[in-house]
Amino acid sequence: MSSPLRLAIAGLGTVGIGVVKIIRQKAALLEARSGRKVQIVAVSARNRDKDRGVSLADYAWEDDPVVMATRDDVDVFVELMGGSDGPAKAATEAALKAGKDVVTANKALLAHHGQELAELAEEKGCVLRFEAAVAGGIPIIKSLTEGLAGNGIDRVMGVMNGTCNYILTRMEATGQGYNALFDEADKLGYLEADPNLDVGGIDAGHKLSLLSSIAFGTQVDFDSVELEGIQRVSIEDIRQAADMGYRIKLLGVARMTGRGLEQSMAPCLVPASSPLGQLEGGTNMVVVEGDQVGQVVLRGAGAGEGPTASAVMGDVMDIARGLRVTTFGQPASTLVKSTPAQAAAPAPYYLRMELMDKPGALAKIATALGEAGLSIHRMRQYDHADNSAPVLIVTHKTTRSALDDALARMATTGVISSEPVALRIEEV
């Protein structure tokens, strides 16, 4: 019989309490599976007196997570406080320096300090695991790091912010605009304290940068993720994209190209009939394309007490079983600094514009596109009551610079009544 695995949990919000409940209610199951007892020794949170609906009387209380992280009777420090710096970083560093394993759900911490923390962990012979930091309950970190370890990874894609996907799919379902659905998501408590983390794509960008590191053996480089939020996605674009057989998703895409590592988190069109296109509401999805396995799709809840606590427990159970993997799938010292791709890979684009009702207007647009080297795959002009007509164009694959050239040429035609919308179509 092995000795018990002793945990200290910092942060007793939804996820922390979910972890406490699992460890209390499933003690026998966890012991049967791991061969040892999994115990909580100490807990820490900002407010000791809050009623959290579960008894914490059996555990030592620590006001200072840094102190807790270094207790002699702790094997694993479970960091569920959040925040890229401050107490989360200080306590994680303290735990690793004291030789403790660390399990964290903190994507911001790792997106900004993943490399140094992974190096510290490995120097100390500790593991630093973060399944709960990416796509909630979906075991994507384990699948990518371990299950697909025999693959060169071609591309990783994901819808990894449930709030954004909720807003976008509700816009389509209700016909309401972004602002109304933002307010609805806010009322439902779906938004982070700083909503820009969600709707600005930052939270999802953090997650993408962690997947990139594992997939391509590169140092986490969040600063090079091209970020665009969903704030400018209009109900018109959602409708017109649907009409052309697409859905708009806040989609993360990472791939290694001849021009460097491409990482983008931005609204994209995907085919409505694809698994990504069919993803509704707050559910998350990650798509991994390996050179051996082809396309593997994982789908599940991206947030919430049970799903996120499930992911934390997956890491805890690994440690209990003696399964020890490097943070990003290979020794941190061997991860290379990537060169960010200066331009995204060529892709088809969706263009929407309002064309003035003048003779030859469409010809001027077609000419501008042609001069920029863009060819048109599909085009639709819609009925119009007033003096401007909505026009949709789906281009063949083109570079972003050719597209920008085309947009500049279109602006000089004098036949467009407002700034055109251009969205990348991701082929999935």
Q: Which residues bind a second copy (CB under 8 A)?
A: 18, 22, 26, 29-30, 32-35, 131, 137-139, 142-143, 146-152, 217, 275, 278, 290-301, 304, 306-307, 309-314, 316-318, 321-325, 329-331, 334
Sign (positive or negative) of CA dihedral 17, 21, 24, 30:
negative
Closest approach, Cβ 289 to a second copy, in A, equals 10
Least distance CB 396 / a second copy (angstroms): 26
Min separation Cβ 213 and a second copy, Å: 13
Could you say which of 100, 107, 142, 207 is catalytic? Answer: 207
- The nearer residue to a second copy, 273 or 412, going by C-beta atoms, is 273
Round to whole Å and give the CA distance between 196 and 203.
9
Nearer to a second copy, 122 or 226 (CB): 122
Q: In whole angstroms, how close is the CB of 409 to a second copy at the nearest point?
A: 41
Q: b/e for 78-90, b at 16 or more Cβ within 10 A?
A: bbbbbebeebbbe
Give the residue with the Cβ less far from a second copy, 123 or 404. Answer: 123
Q: At what angle do helices 305-320 and 14-25 cross, to 10 degrees?
A: 60
CB of residue 29 vs a second copy: minimum separation in angstroms?
Answer: 6
Report the nearest approach of a second copy to the CB of residue 59 (Å).
18
Q: In whole angstroms, how close is the CB of 374 to a second copy at the nearest point?
A: 32
Amino acid at 224: S
Measured between alpha carbons, how far is 252 from 204 in angstroms, rounded to an integer? 7
Taken in order 208, 276, 175, 282, the sign of the CA dihedral is negative
Question: Which is closer to a second copy, CB of 369 or CB of 428?
Answer: 428
Q: Are strands 294-301 and 260-271 parallel, antiparallel or unpaired?
A: unpaired
d(CA 121, CA 106): 16
Catalytic annotation present for 207: yes
State the Cα–Cα distance between residues 23 and 30, nearest whole angstrom: 8
DSSP 321: T
Taking the least distance from each CB to a second copy, the nearer of 210 and 233 is: 210
In this complex, which beta carbon is closest to a second copy, that of residue 182 or of residue 328?
328
**Residue 87 to residues 66, 93, 127, 166: CA-CA distances in angstroms?**
7, 10, 20, 31
- In angstroms, the CA 230 to CA 168 distance is 8
Q: Can you say whether the dihedral through the CA atoms of 157, 162, 163, 165 is positive or negative?
A: positive
| Closest to a second copy by CB, 111 or 301 | 301
Cβ-contact 277, 246 below 8 angstroms:
yes
How far is the C-alpha of 199 from the C-alpha of 318, rounded, in Å?
Answer: 33
Annotated active-site positions, please? 207
